[in-house]
Amino acid sequence: MAGLTSDSDDNDKFEWESDGEAAPSSAPTLRNLDAPGPSTLNSNGWANGEATSTSLVEEYVTMGFPKDMVVKGIKEIGHNDVNALLELLLTYKALGDEGALGDCSTSGCACPNVQDDDDDDLDSDNWDNDNDTGGREHNSDSSGDEDFLKEMSAKDEKINLLVDMGFSEDEANMAMTTCGVDADLCVLVDSISASRVAGDCHSRNLFDDQVMDRCFDSFGEREKARLMEERKKKRKRYGGGSHGNRSSLDGSDDEQMHLPNPMVGFNLPGYRRPSVMRMLPQQAIGPPFFYYENVARTPRGVWETISRFLYDIEPEFVDSMHLSAAARKRGYIHNLPIENRSPLLPLPPKTIFEAFPHYKKWWPSWDPRRQLNCLQTTVASAKTTERIQCLLARSSNPPPPSVQKYVIDECRKWNLVWVGKNKVAPLEPNEVEYLLGFPRDHTRGVGKTERYKSLGNSFHVDTVAYHLSVLRDMFPNGVSVLSLFTGIGGGEVALHRLGIHMRAVVSVEIGEANRRILRGWWDQTQTGTLIEVADVKSLTPDIIASYVGRFGGFDLVIGGSPCNNLAGSNRHHRDGLEGEQSSLFYHYFRILDVVKSAMARM
């Protein structure tokens, strides 16, 4: 996969670094284990469950496209990307060549045999069709209409995203004019920020909501050049650290941030490392303290961009396998001290059998696993575990190497454990809670599927608590916390387990089930004030300033934006920070900056 690399990648081939669904795995030699069933393709050529609704076809028919053309177009590229579908239909309509839309079967691309198994999703992104691609490129310049529509759609989408972040529409349009429609979102945000600092042409100030009165172009250009030069010097100055010199933070395709091996951050209990001297940029020093988390393995340039927006602080990469029985590779950017940290006691178990000794009874000698992989948001289906059981029942003891490999691969992928003779099963939600450091039944009260999803997207409590432990002596009277993308309250549970009283928490979480879980835990364990906000976009500068005034500022701003578009297993929508979910990171930066500005005025 493209993205950040690690010396240990080969050893982690089955660790789905995911907070989303696991990528499908194939076992071509085992496909004949299940008895043949009815075809999973319907008469229109779509897989069962993926057929486009009649209303969607009718929508394009009402636009003037022939129904056959719409159906063929949807079969060609799918129905999830309406812009791409519209572009394709416009192209062929302009050519007057409906027959140019080829079928998969006539272009040399045989559709794979689809099994009736809900955990084996088709990864259509990996299907290659040279004839089809060539035909589409040949027709790409046939009409200016679709290019114009595509450009306008992309421009409007980015302007809407920038406005959602709190920038004015004028600022967004100016940035698009300066940088171009194809510029990445982070480049556009950088352009607006630079314009504000330089005082270009009455740029609108996001945080004070005032119009700057300087409009000297030559001064603005000189100031931009000065700022860029200062940024380069700052990167060199703070480029050192436990991971050596950092690569450039411009997010270019030629450079990327490499993950350390072992992934133990600046320090961890039991790991002796050279003393780390960390110097923070002046603007990064609190108050408030801030703490941001996301998946370690991301598309190229993502961590460079995140670091650039968070004051060029070097990320601290930690794999929770060094603190628990399950792996969880995460990156953290924060301005907390890194000396005098202390772990939660008692230390959590670091192997499967230490955590769950009763599984040792049925564990086969040929399964070498002693730790689990990343705990995901989904679990294996009953059909997967049944297939493994049937396969082992028909095999010798021990099974042949090919069978062993298939079974172990599936067990690693889904974190399956041995619960009987030839019988594997997923972890139960309360077992996942235990591995992640949550109290038993923390997520109980919502559906089982929702519990797995919420836990898969949560913090690892012991890791976060180790980092936050430095606050214990600094705030003996408790802390006020702004918690962004709270989830099920991993940060709050970590503070509670550290014995740090939370006087007030403003929690921003859009998931109703997650809010219910947090509220239930809070009512049982806490005496402070909990304010719940559903949508991060509703936190305007005025509302943030009112919370700052009400609580006397925030001692900690903690959060981790959704990583749906970053995780390695989310192959269909791995769009980096430009993705619909992961672009919410910019709200973390925006809100943190507002808090810092409001507290500076106190």
- Note if 563 is an active site residue: yes
Distance CA 159, CA 67 (A): 33
Altogether, the residues listed in the chain come to a count of 602
3-class SS of residue 561: coil
Distance CA 450, CA 434 (A): 17
Q: Is 332 exposed, middle or buried (0-12, 13-18, 19+ CB in 10 A)?
A: buried
Q: How many CA atoms lie within 13 A of 381 on its CB side?
A: 12
Distance CA 355, CA 527 (A): 32
Question: Which of 186, 374, 411, 563 is the catalytic position?
Answer: 563
Q: Which tokens is 284 given?
A: 């990064």
3-class SS of residue 331: strand
Number of Cβ within 10 Å of residue 502's Cβ equals 24
Q: Which tokens is 233 given?
A: 């010097």
Q: Is 317 exposed, middle or buried (0-12, 13-18, 19+ CB in 10 A)?
A: buried
DSSP bridge partners of 420: 423
Residue type for position 244? G
Distance CA 567, CA 573 (A): 9
3-class SS of residue 299: coil
3-class SS of residue 504: strand
Q: Which helix (H) or strand (E) holds 300?
A: none
Q: Which tokens is 395 given?
A: 């095999």
Q: Which helix (H) or strand (E) holds 458?
A: none
- ∠ CA 327-369-384, rounded to 5°: 90
Q: Which helix (H) or strand (E) holds 418?
A: strand 417-420
- In 3D, which of 299, 425, 443 has the Cα closest to residue 363? 425
Q: Which helix (H) or strand (E) holds 593?
A: helix 585-600
Distance CA 299, CA 13 (A): 17
Query: How big is the chain by its Cα radius of gyration, in Å?
Result: 26
Number of Cβ within 10 Å of residue 330's Cβ equals 26
Given CA atoms 527, 532, 536, 537 in this order, what sign does their dihedral have?
negative
Is-contact 545 538, C-beta < 8 A? no
Give the chain's end-to-end CA distance (angstroms, integer): 47
- ∠ CA 560-564-568, rounded to 5°: 105
Bridge-based pairing of strands 502-508 and 529-533 is parallel
Phi, psi of 126 (to 5 degrees): -95, 5
Phi, psi of 93 (to 5 degrees): -70, -40
Give the residue numbers marked as catalytic: 563
